[in-house]
Amino acid sequence: MSSPREEPMIDIARGDPVRSRQLRAALKTLRDRSNDREFRRLVDDVLAGRRALRDVARTQTFDRVVTPLAHVRRGTRAAAPPG
């Protein structure tokens, strides 16, 4: 269990504090770059320890925001026109 000063462990980190910090950083980046208020609230809930990332990742909101980013990263989305 986390003390009041510690950040809550991300559930899918399996107790690994380094992995949890990496996940927290990634989630903060996604949240900060998203204009989707519902997504931002979900991520805030995970970061605060109110929701599990495993559960949030299964929501339509999470899918709507993250799936397009995964496709861009893999290069499966059409390239933007030059200019």
Q: How many domains does the chain have?
A: 1
Query: Mean pLDDT over residues 17-23, rounded?
Result: 97
The answer to whether residue 74 is domain-embedded is: no
The answer to whether residue 83 is domain-embedded is: no
Predicted local confidence at residue 62, as pLDDT: 97
Find the domain containing 24 and state its range: 11-68
Amino acid at 63: D
Cβ(53)–Cβ(14) below 8 Å: no
Confidence class for position 81, pLDDT limits 50, 70, 90: very low
Tokens at 43, concatenated = 């991520």
Task: Give residue for tokens 């709507």.
Answer: 64
Dist. CA 13–CA 81, nearest whole Å: 38
pTM of the model: 0.79
Predicted local confidence at residue 69, as pLDDT: 86
Dist. CA 19–CA 7, nearest whole Å: 13
The answer to whether residue 5 is domain-embedded is: no
Cα three-residue angle 69-9-74, rounded to 5 degrees: 15
> Residue 20 pLDDT > 80, yes or no?
yes
Per-residue pLDDT tens for 25-57?
A: 999 999 999 999 999 999 999 999 999 999 999
